[in-house]
Structure 1
């Protein structure tokens, strides 16, 4: 059996971040997803899909995404029910997101609306470690590049190939 959902759309409002009594973050949000066809009047319609995401990704979504931001959602469909105030059974179907990708930078967001931090999603405060030395190998000059092309064939046997 398979229950998988992949959506790309824009937030219809700012995510609603809340915390459970145990301190677990949960964000509810709705995304508008365009349909791949036009109606009889030639207009494109959209579906408005309710979603929920938990824990740290919920906090990241609420902190970095705003109404109008384009996001990608990967998750599953879930249906739950409860008794309403009038005593009737209420059914809710929503997407429980496993991950949310931020699909545009702030500069690419629609005018007057917030945006994301790029497709990688969450990015911590970049000024946080500003005074610490950076010891990453990729920031050093390229002294010994093992992938540099010398123009010579390499010696590799078929047994070394993974396929």
Structure 2
């Protein structure tokens, strides 16, 4: 019997570069961008210290397309996903490896900066459900009920 494990990453940070969108030969979108997270602590001598971690973020499919449309360098974002390490050999035969956060969720936490340096006042991201999102039969029934006509609604209050 195997034991359960968990590979879950949740980050809130600032984009270090604009998202880069590419497509696989099969037409699947893949978006990559950098995210920086900060941390503060007090060392043994009582001095305040600061550190920065840089994370490579990867988003696939519709989420990748949305990331490329909604995010810009400097923007704060919430991402959630899993760690994945890839390994390969370069043309000269040396081994390479990279650890990435493959995200499944993303929330833009502030508006992108305008060209004048301030934030866009009327920016409102529109987040669409991904094509890969599966709808359960119960959700389909609920959705169908919610779309029912007004003549099906009983306006009488039972009290």
TM-score band, normalised by shorter chain: 0.5 to 0.7
Distance 2:27 2:74 in 1: 28
Q: In 2, are the aligned partners of 1:66 and 1:113 still within 8 Å (CA)? A: no
Distance 1:13 1:105 in 2: 15
Q: Deviations over 1:128-159 (max 9, x none)?
A: xxxxxxxx9xxxxxxx7x7xxxxxxx98xxxx
Alignment RMSD: 3.1
1:122 and 2:122 are equivalent in the alignment = no
Q: Deviations over 1:77-117 (max 9, x none)?
A: 0011011122011111111101111111347x8x7277773
Which residue number in structure 2 is paired with residue 105 of structure 1?
111
The list of structure 1 runs, each at least 4 consecutive aligned residues, that deviate by more than 6 angstroms after superposition, is 113-116
> SS state of the match for residue 62, structure 2?
helix
Which of 78, 82, 85 does residue 79 from structure 1 map onto? 85
Q: Give the TM-score normalised by the residue count of structure 1.
A: 0.65
1:9 and 2:9 are equivalent in the alignment = no
Which residue number in structure 1 is paired with residue 97 of structure 2?
91
Structure 2, gaps ≥5 residues long: 129-146, 148-154
Q: In 2, are the aligned partners of 1:65 and 1:114 still within 8 Å (CA)? A: no
Structure 1, gaps ≥5 residues long: 124-135, 137-143, 147-153, 156-163
Distance 1:114 1:56 in 2: 26
> SS state of the match for residue 83, structure 2?
strand
Q: Deviations over 1:22-50 (max 9, x none)?
A: 11100011100011426786452210101
Q: In 1, are the aligned partners of 2:111 and 2:119 still within 8 Å (CA)? A: no
1:37 and 2:41 are equivalent in the alignment = yes
Which of 17, 20, 43 does residue 24 from structure 2 map onto? 20
